[in-house]
Amino acid sequence: MTIITTIDDLQCLAKRRVPRMFYDYADAGSWTESTYRANSADFASIKFRQRVAVNLANRTLASTMVGQAVSMPVALAPTGLTGMQHADGEILAARAAERFGVPFTLSTMSICSIEDVAAHTSKPFWFQLYVMKDRDFIERLIERARAAGCSALVLTLDLQVLGQRHKDIRNGLSAPPKPTRSTIINLMTKPRWCLGMLGTRRHGFGNIVGHAKSVSDMSSLSAWTTQQFDPSLSWDDVEWIKKRWGGTLIIKGIMDPDDARLAADSGADALIVSNHGGRQLDGAQSSIAALGPIVEAVGKRIEVHMDGGVRSGQDVLRAVAMGARGVYIGRPFLYGLGAMGEAGVTKCLDIIRNELDLTMAFCGLRDIQDVDRRILLDQER
Ligand SMILES: Cc1cc2nc3c(=O)[nH]c(=O)nc-3n(C[C@H](O)[C@H](O)[C@H](O)COP(=O)(O)O)c2cc1C
C-alpha cells in the first residue's frame, strides 16, 4: 500500500493511474515550462522566522475570501477537463471542498455541467468564466451560474490567445480520447480509470455541448472551442460582465501592478495574481514574485488572491504573509483526484491544512488573521 504524506506522493500515484494524455495535460506548462517551474521554485527561497516559547494553544486557520467564510484561506482553482482526471471529477472535487469548508471553482471548460455539480452539492460553489466571442452564450452561462446559486464569478482574463503545450500536441489531447493505437495501449494500463469512465455518461464539455449554437457533438465542439476564445477582450467587456452578473466578481490572471490598478478600478471584489499555472506566457515571472508589488499597488482597494506553484501549507503561509487574502491550488487537487478520487482531494486538503497549521505555529502564531510579513526573514520584508 502506498503511504501518502505529501502532494508529491499524490502526484506519483496520479501518474500511475491517469492516462498519459490527461496526466500530461494537468502537469504541463507552456513552451519551455520556465514559468511553470519558477512558480514553485520561487517559494522555496522565502524563509520564515522561527519563534519559540509562545502560547500555541487553540490555533485557528479560519478566514474569509470575498466575505465568505473559509476553514482555511485555500480554494480549488478552476481547471478544465477535471472530469478526465477521474470519472465525475468536478462533482467529486466540489464535494470534497464543500465538506472541508473551502471554495470550489468550476471551470467553463469542465466535463460536469454547472447544473450537474449544483445537483450533487448542497452549498454554493464559484463559477469561472472565459470570455467567448459568442456573447449570447456568455449571457446564458452567467444566467445558468446564477440559477445554480453560484456565490462568486471568477472572470479569467489571461486566455485571449492560447499558450502552447508541446505534450498536448504530441499526445493528441481530446475529450473523450480518440482511439489511436498508442492511446489504446496506454488506456490498457489504467483499468481503474477506464472502469470509472465506463460507469459515467459525463465525457464531453458539459457546459457547452447542447448550449452553444451549432455545438451538438464532439467534432463540432472542438471546432467551436478553438475559434471562440476572444482576442479582442477588453476592460469594457469586464464592465459588461460585471453588470450582467451583479454579484461577487473575482478577476483572474493579473501579473502586473498596472493591470491590478485597472482591476481595482473595475469595481471587482478581488483579483487573482496568476499566470495560469505557467500555461500561458512562458517567460513571465512567478506568481509569488509578482504578488508583493501588486499588494503594494492595490492591496488597500481590493482583495488580492494568488495561485501558481503552491505545493504545501508552507507555500500557503508564505503567500498569506506577503499579503494574499486567499490562495488557490490547481494541480495539487488534480493529482489527489487522479490518484484516489474524492478521497484524494480530501487528502490533498488535509495535507495542506496540517502543514499550514504547524508552520504557523512554528512561526509563533495562533491565528491566520495575524499572519503578515513579520513572520518572514528580513530580506523578504
Ligand atoms: C489542467 C489545468 C487546467 C486549467 N484550466 C483552467 C480553466 O479552465 N480556467 C482557468 O481560469 N484556469 C485554468 N487553469 C489555471 C488554474 O486555475 C490555476 O491558475 C493554476 O492551476 C494554478 O497553478 P498550480 O496548478 O500550480 O496550482 C488550469 C490549470 C490546469 C493545471
CATH at 305 = 3.20.20.70
Whether residue 1 lies inside any domain: the answer is: no
Whether residue 354 lies inside any domain: the answer is: yes
Ligand 1 centroid to residue 329 C-alpha, Å: 8
- From the list 298, 312, 227, 306, the residue with the least C-alpha distance to 263 is 298
What pairing do the DSSP bridges indicate for beta strands 63-65 and 68-70? antiparallel
Residue 323 binned pLDDT confidence (cut-offs 50, 70, 90):
very high
Residue closest via CA to ligand 1's atom 21 equals 330
Does 379 score more than 70 pLDDT?
no
Does 223 score more than 80 pLDDT?
no
For ligand 1, is residue 311 a contact (CB within 6 Å)? no
Ligand 1 centroid to residue 351 C-alpha, Å: 20
Whether residue 380 lies inside any domain: the answer is: no
Whether residue 177 lies inside any domain: the answer is: yes
**Average pLDDT of the residues in 223-250:** 93
Does 219 score more than 90 pLDDT?
no
Q: Which of 279, 280, 329, 351 to mutate for ligand 1's pocket (most ligand atoms within 8 Å of CB)? A: 279
Whether residue 320 lies inside any domain: the answer is: yes
For ligand 1, is residue 207 a contact (CB within 6 Å)? no
For ligand 1, is residue 128 a contact (CB within 6 Å)? yes
- Joined grid coordinates for residue 166: 508541446
For ligand 1, is residue 250 a contact (CB within 6 Å)? no
Cα–Cα dist 1/339, whole Å: 13
Q: Which atom of ligand 1 is nearest to the CA of 36?
A: 26
Does 344 score more than 90 pLDDT?
yes
For ligand 1, is residue 309 a contact (CB within 6 Å)? yes
- Joined grid coordinates for residue 150: 453560484
Residue 227 binned pLDDT confidence (cut-offs 50, 70, 90):
confident
**Average pLDDT of the residues in 338-351:** 98
- From the list 188, 198, 169, the residue with the least C-alpha distance to 21 is 169
For ligand 1, is residue 307 a contact (CB within 6 Å)? yes
Ligand 1 centroid to residue 313 C-alpha, Å: 19
On whether the CB atoms of residues 347 and 337 are closer than 8 A, the answer is: no
Residue closest via CA to ligand 1's atom 7 equals 79
**Average pLDDT of the residues in 289-293:** 98
Query: Would you call 166 a catalytic residue per the annotation?
Result: no
Whether residue 290 lies inside any domain: the answer is: yes
- Joined grid coordinates for residue 149: 446559486
**Average pLDDT of the residues in 185-196:** 95
The predicted structure's pLDDT at residue 144: 98
Q: Which of 276, 331, 335, 349 to mutate for ligand 1's pocket (most ligand atoms within 8 Å of CB)? A: 276
User: 311 — phi, psi (to 5°)?
Assistant: -125, 5
β-sheet bridge partners, residue 132? 229
Does 117 score more than 70 pLDDT?
yes
Q: Please give the tally of structural domains in the chain.
A: 1
Q: Which atom of ligand 1 is nearest to the CA of 40?
A: 26
Ligand 1 centroid to residue 53 C-alpha, Å: 40
Q: What global pTM score does this model have?
A: 0.97
Q: Which atom of ligand 1 is nearest to the CA of 39?
A: 26
Residue closest via CA to ligand 1's atom 19 equals 276
Q: Can you spell out the DSSP letters for 89-100?
A: HHHHHHHHHHHH
Cα–Cα dist 241/201, whole Å: 32
**Average pLDDT of the residues in 75-94:** 98
Range(s) of the domain holding residue 178: 7-375
For ligand 1, is residue 79 a contact (CB within 6 Å)? yes
Whether residue 2 lies inside any domain: the answer is: no
Does 204 score more than 90 pLDDT?
no
For ligand 1, is residue 331 a contact (CB within 6 Å)? yes
